[in-house]
Structure 1
């Protein structure tokens, strides 16, 4: 039996469409006829600024200049979304929906745009581009995207005020631009900052030491290219009762720290992360708190506990501000305070840190990754019942941020976890796939990238041995290693809220 059409249903839809069209024209005429000095002064200029997306390209340039990671990513995503939207709107949408432009006779001459467009009215290209850019930026940086969305809304309003579009054209443009930006986020997801949840800091009751009594500082004045000498002078002036043990270049640092710990209430150390790692193990052995003065080249541990200057460490000692942090024990006899690595990871970090202040961290990371993967000697390792080939292996004390293969900071150092990140390079076209994923901001989603956070970790080298570096020291050859967390084992002076 043939299907019967429902003429009443079609007639109802037609009537709804006609009603919306009438409402659209009435709103347009109401806006055109409304006297407003504010609209007269601002809307034509804003509409002109958005011609050919000049406004959004200028905003994008300003966002990139900030060099803030999420802001730069937002600017790039916004511009790409805008470009795709412009192509879809002008080459497809305007040819499918044919609607004549509004009658400008009701629009005051001083409001009208200089060049009246001749293309179809539906949808508004200016509005589509505005929505695409604002939503694209907002996917990476929501607060910034909200502000740009308000600006985009004004751009859409300006197209009605100057007589170029009906309100319905503007809303259609907003929908197309926002939809394309959201679709782009499904293809290349935005980067979501990792949040580390942990318990409150474990404070240790320690008496204030306003003059540094009971503190023994072990330091080489020549360390850090002369930084150690400056630390000695500042500590001597700020903590006159502290004992300062100055070492020579050929001194046995471990023996000096152990001897100092036997008579100290507080063991203080000045130097790089390798020296601090040694001091941490000795402080735990003698059951006394550690104070760290930044006296090395990078001082990653000192920065992460909030003691990136001598003044901050001095203030913590004076106030008796102490909290416990984690340590990682390696093979039961060595302490890791920051990181351990095999393969070419130390080379990767050196290249990245050398360039990131000149060209920005994203480009520096990409360049360092390309060089490292090109020249690195791969290592085959076994862990957790799997065997893989890697050129970059990173292990950190506590969780590092951000996710991906450019970890740079820790917001907490007492979460009881080891942060392990491995790039697998033994699969087909692995290097090309890694570089492509890094360029698209999707490395952490690549099957070649492995990231885990565990309280213990062990690996073994399948073919011979490899060099294991830790805390800035080159280390020695090994055939494998066992790592375990010493949860909140080290009481350390640090600023506390």
Structure 2
């Protein structure tokens, strides 16, 4: 016991000596910066701003995930430190008589000293960001370290408080990763592997870029990365014809645009039996991200090595505009969602995508138009039928990502009719996949037959809306599409 007390005393003495050394030392470059930085980190405001900057400046799914993971890690660290550990430890703050007045904070903390909540939040945010994006982690880490040191520099914490807080912050980020795995931890959706021609520099590749998807700038990036490829940028109305011509004359078909454009490209690639190269260029890029392709350079690497996989296509029969089949890479739906898409597309040019989506949802639910349909001869009233191409894993209250793009299955979810559509849709979302309740049913299926649809019923597939036939069948074209994807995904910085 005496040895234990002696060791604790030595550690406490060393802690105070380091604190006095930091307080007595002159740090000319730090005086105008660290006190302000310490105040900026109060209540997590600095990190909220950093998360917004990462999400906006990153312009990609990885950056958005990094920002979200950083804030989730910060929230867990803050709750753990401020509501549990501080009340248990109750260590007094350092005395300020050795700290120059110019360094002291104008408003001194009133909570106990151990551990440092600022250091915990800084370390949690930086670690969470780095777990998703090493590049953004490297940008954030120096700021986080400066915030942690500022707590000793301004005299509000001992060094051990900061070290303990930082360790707790790192632990919080790792705990969040245990609950919600990072993309690198998830099983690869790229199976089974397929043969595809090697096209170094893009030789033999024809890329069609949809100008309306905001892909004009990325088209130049593709041209620079693949100097031997032919890149055709066109208006939305010209996309189907250009895709057909490109698929006929190219060794592979490339597409740069949103999910609707990628859907058309996939159909052209299947018809002409050429592999597809997808360059993420839309707003959401669901298919590309679920495939594991998050940047132009991911696709370029796969083209250079001839690395590809086979994936399923969802299919509905009959297809739109009198076609034998219609295909969907992501989702098919009947009910309120086609109405929502139609209203959103009408308002989006004036309001922007997200505000238009919110207002469209409110308008669609306010109208409350239910759908009558027959399933295996049984008449049902419903608000929504959702069919996913492959099984969607739940990420929170909504369908998340797919871990297997060649499982041969449809993820079918139905929200039954009744009063209060908004409440029913929310209850269905919270219930999750593969569940049954009075408002919601979810099953894994290979084939769905739907009949008795009234004239004027709309269906939506991959964000496109068209008139639904009176009867249709949903099934799968298993492993019908070959698409380029690197066998080892890039660990690119951003």
Q: Find the structure with the greater CA-based Rg.
A: 1
The aligned runs of 1:413-428 (5 Å cut-off) are: 415-420=406-411, 422=413, 424=415, 426=417
* Superimposed CA distance per residue, residues 271-312 of structure 1 (whole angstroms, 9 cap, x where no aligned partner): 9678768756765xxxx5588999xx99x8998999x99xx9
Residue 483 of structure 1 and its aligned partner are, at CA, apart by 1.0
Structure 1 residues 154, 444: closer, same or farther in 2, change over 3 A? farther
Deviates more, 1:344-353 or 1:145-154: 145-154
Tell me the SS of whatever aligns to 1:484. strand
Give the structure-1-normalised TM-score: 0.56
Give yes or no for contact 1:224–1:272 (8 Å, CA) kept in 2: no
- 1:77 is matched with which residue? 72
Structure 1 residues 26, 364: closer, same or farther in 2, change over 3 A? farther
Give the structure-2-normalised TM-score: 0.56
* Superimposed CA distance per residue, residues 258-279 of structure 1 (whole angstroms, 9 cap, x where no aligned partner): xxx9x99999999967876875
- 1:131 is matched with which residue? 120
Residue 64 of structure 1 and its aligned partner are, at CA, apart by 0.7
Give yes or no for contact 1:373–1:391 (8 Å, CA) kept in 2: no
Residue 26 of structure 1 and its aligned partner are, at CA, apart by 0.9
Tell me the SS of whatever aligns to 1:477. coil
Tell me the SS of whatever aligns to 1:164. coil
Residue 22 of structure 1 and its aligned partner are, at CA, apart by 2.5
The answer to whether the aligner puts 1:51 opposite 2:39 as a matched pair is yes
Name the CA distance, whole Å, in 1 between partners of 2:69 and 2:270. 44
Q: Structure 1: any 5+ residue segments left out of the alignment?
A: 1-11, 226-237, 241-248
- 2:383 is matched with which residue? 391
Give yes or no for contact 2:335–2:371 (8 Å, CA) kept in 1: yes
Structure 1 residues 485, 433: closer, same or farther in 2, change over 3 A? same
State the number of aligned residues.
Answer: 425
Name the CA distance, whole Å, in 1 between partners of 2:165 and 2:198. 64
Residue 450 of structure 1 and its aligned partner are, at CA, apart by 6.8
Q: Structure 2: any 5+ residue segments left out of the alignment?
A: 56-62, 214-227, 231-236, 319-323, 488-494
Give yes or no for contact 1:85–1:132 (8 Å, CA) kept in 2: no
Deviates more, 1:59-68 or 1:328-337: 328-337
Residue 334 of structure 1 and its aligned partner are, at CA, apart by 1.9
Computed over aligned residues only, the root mean square deviation of the Cα atoms, in angstroms, reads 6.6
Among residues 157, 160, 174, which one is paired with 1:165 in the alignment?
A: 157
Give yes or no for contact 1:39–1:161 (8 Å, CA) kept in 2: no
Give yes or no for contact 1:137–1:145 (8 Å, CA) kept in 2: yes
Structure 1 residues 409, 172: closer, same or farther in 2, change over 3 A? closer
Give yes or no for contact 2:92–2:112 (8 Å, CA) kept in 1: yes
* Superimposed CA distance per residue, residues 12-57 of structure 1 (whole angstroms, 9 cap, x where no aligned partner): 4xx6885466335412332145479987346664255213635942
Among residues 102, 109, 131, which one is paired with 2:94 in the alignment?
A: 102
Structure 1 residues 160, 328: closer, same or farther in 2, change over 3 A? closer
Give yes or no for contact 1:132–1:178 (8 Å, CA) kept in 2: no
Tell me the SS of whatever aligns to 2:385. strand
Residue 131 of structure 1 and its aligned partner are, at CA, apart by 1.1
Give yes or no for contact 1:71–1:141 (8 Å, CA) kept in 2: yes
Give yes or no for contact 2:86–2:114 (8 Å, CA) kept in 1: yes
- 1:458 is matched with which residue? 448
Tell me the SS of whatever aligns to 1:122. coil
- 1:343 is matched with which residue? 335
- 1:29 is matched with which residue? 16
Residue 345 of structure 1 and its aligned partner are, at CA, apart by 2.5
Structure 1 residues 480, 239: closer, same or farther in 2, change over 3 A? closer
Name the CA distance, whole Å, in 1 between partners of 2:6 and 2:203. 83
Name the CA distance, whole Å, in 2 between partners of 1:474 and 1:371. 20
The aligned runs of 1:470-485 (5 Å cut-off) are: 470=461, 472=464, 474-479=466-471, 481-485=473-477
